[in-house]
């Protein structure tokens, strides 16, 4: 199993990590603050509030704000959406141009050649692991597609992960973010890009998410559970960056671009069906996951989806007649090529139909 380990930010995961932000901020920084949720009390030269998951238009708007204030430092504080928007803005501040120039699959796919301006990721939800990944997932409404701007040069300077920031995150956001972390660890573990290194990271993330996700949802102030989920999310980000994902994330890209489905919901609902389909095609690595969970992987994930009350895809307007178009788009998504086996169109259609 060959290994190519990507650059990681300096990572600080601790209760009260936020208090150490000044150590990581250059003294004369002109900061662009990108956030979602409530506006934090952090000094900034310019501010951009990310609403919902970022689109190419959001990134261009954030860039305009940052360029007008000649920002040379970026802080992303919030869920994965705010972190990814900050990541793309930091990258494009250094590289010039606009978001569509650098988008994979649907954009011009221009290469990032300059290191992003220094930026700090401060996640408030435990899910995407965006604080340590090198890609920013961005929607392009006109193209009805979500894709990434990706480069090792986009890596944050530091990730400050403070589990206390998550205590007021509501149940539904905790549930779907946590399902994303669990899903990312499972997909990275069975991915055809996996290595011994990513296996070790991913299996620990699976163990932590299985132990703490329901607890964090039941009692948001359970700091041990919040810490466990923050760690699972971090591990999921390191695993996916170095191993790739799979069919769940392949589907999540077009579903999220065409329907108002939060990313973690799409991932959670699809996960048990993708596991079952891959297993039927002879993927045996799920046996290790069964052992870690002490139960069948697909059944455990389906049980969590039910217990956490994740809505079905049909409740977002996905209908049976949408399945063929979504299958076509999912096959083009960058994550799909890391699925451990090639799933044919009929199998992909089955997986999606079962998730409606």
Give residues in contact with Zn ion (CB under 5 A): 180
Dist. CA 313–CA 266, nearest whole Å: 7
Closer Cβ to Zn ion, 94 or 235, answer by number: 235
Neighbours of 98 (CB within 10 A): 16
For the bound state, the minimum distance from the C-beta of residue 6 to Zn ion, rounded and expressed in Å, comes to 17
Which residue's beta carbon is nearest to the bound Zn ion?
180
Closer Cβ to Zn ion, 53 or 180, answer by number: 180
For the bound state, the minimum distance from the C-beta of residue 236 to Zn ion, rounded and expressed in Å, comes to 8
Closer Cβ to Zn ion, 131 or 180, answer by number: 180
Dist. CA 23–CA 20, nearest whole Å: 6
Closer Cβ to Zn ion, 32 or 175, answer by number: 175
Measured between alpha carbons, how far is residue 20 from residues 13, 119, 159 in Å? 11, 15, 11
**Is the CB of residue 279 less than 8 Å from the CB of residue 309?**
no
Dist. CA 324–CA 10, nearest whole Å: 43
Dist. CA 71–CA 144, nearest whole Å: 31
For the bound state, the minimum distance from the C-beta of residue 244 to Zn ion, rounded and expressed in Å, comes to 12
Closer Cβ to Zn ion, 84 or 162, answer by number: 84
Q: Dig out the tokens for 119 from the structure.
A: 């930026």
For the bound state, the minimum distance from the C-beta of residue 263 to Zn ion, rounded and expressed in Å, comes to 6
For the bound state, the minimum distance from the C-beta of residue 128 to Zn ion, rounded and expressed in Å, comes to 6
Which secondary-structure segment (H or E) carries 134?
Answer: none
Dist. CA 269–CA 109, nearest whole Å: 31
């Amino acid at each position: 199993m060959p290994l190519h380990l990507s650059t990681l930010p300096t990572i600080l995961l601790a209760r009260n990590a936020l208090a150490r932000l000044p150590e990581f901020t250059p003294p004369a920084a002109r900061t662009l603050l990108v956030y979602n949720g409530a506006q934090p009390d952090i000094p900034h030269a310019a501010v951009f509030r990310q609403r919902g998951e970022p689109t190419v238009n959001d990134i261009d708007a954030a860039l305009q704000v940052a360029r007008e204030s000649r920002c040379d430092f970026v802080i992303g504080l919030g869920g994965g959406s705010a972190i990814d928007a900050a990541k793309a803005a930091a990258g494009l501040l250094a590289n010039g141009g606009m978001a569509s120039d650098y988008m994979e699959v649907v954009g011009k796919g221009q290469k990032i050649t300059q290191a992003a301006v220094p930026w700090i990721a401060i996640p408030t939800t435990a899910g995407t692991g965006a604080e340590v990944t090198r890609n920013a997932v961005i929607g392009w409404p006109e193209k009805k597609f979500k894709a990434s701007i990706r480069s090792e040069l986009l890596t944050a300077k530091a990730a400050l992960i403070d589990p206390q920031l998550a205590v007021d995150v509501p149940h539904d956001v905790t549930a779907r973010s946590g399902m994303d972390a669990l899903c990312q660890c499972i997909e990275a573990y069975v991915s055809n890009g996996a290595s011994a290194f990513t296996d070790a990271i991913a299996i620990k993330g699976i163990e932590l998410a299985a132990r703490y996700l329901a607890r964090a949802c039941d009692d948001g102030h359970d700091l041990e559970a919040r810490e466990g989920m923050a760690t699972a999310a971090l591990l999921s980000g390191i695993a996916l960056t170095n191993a790739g994902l799979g069919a769940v994330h392949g589907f999540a890209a077009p579903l999220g671009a065409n329907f108002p489905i939060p990313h973690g919901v799409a991932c959670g609902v699809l996960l048990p069906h993708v596991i079952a389909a891959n297993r039927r095609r002879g993927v045996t690595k799920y046996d290790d996951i069964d052992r870690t969970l002490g139960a069948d992987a697909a059944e455990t994930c389906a049980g969590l989806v039910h217990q956490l009350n994740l809505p079905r895809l049909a409740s977002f307007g996905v209908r049976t007649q949408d399945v063929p178009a979504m299958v076509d788009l999912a096959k083009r998504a960058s994550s799909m090529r890391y699925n451990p086996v090639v799933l044919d169109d009929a199998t992909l259609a089955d997986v999606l139909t079962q998730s409606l």
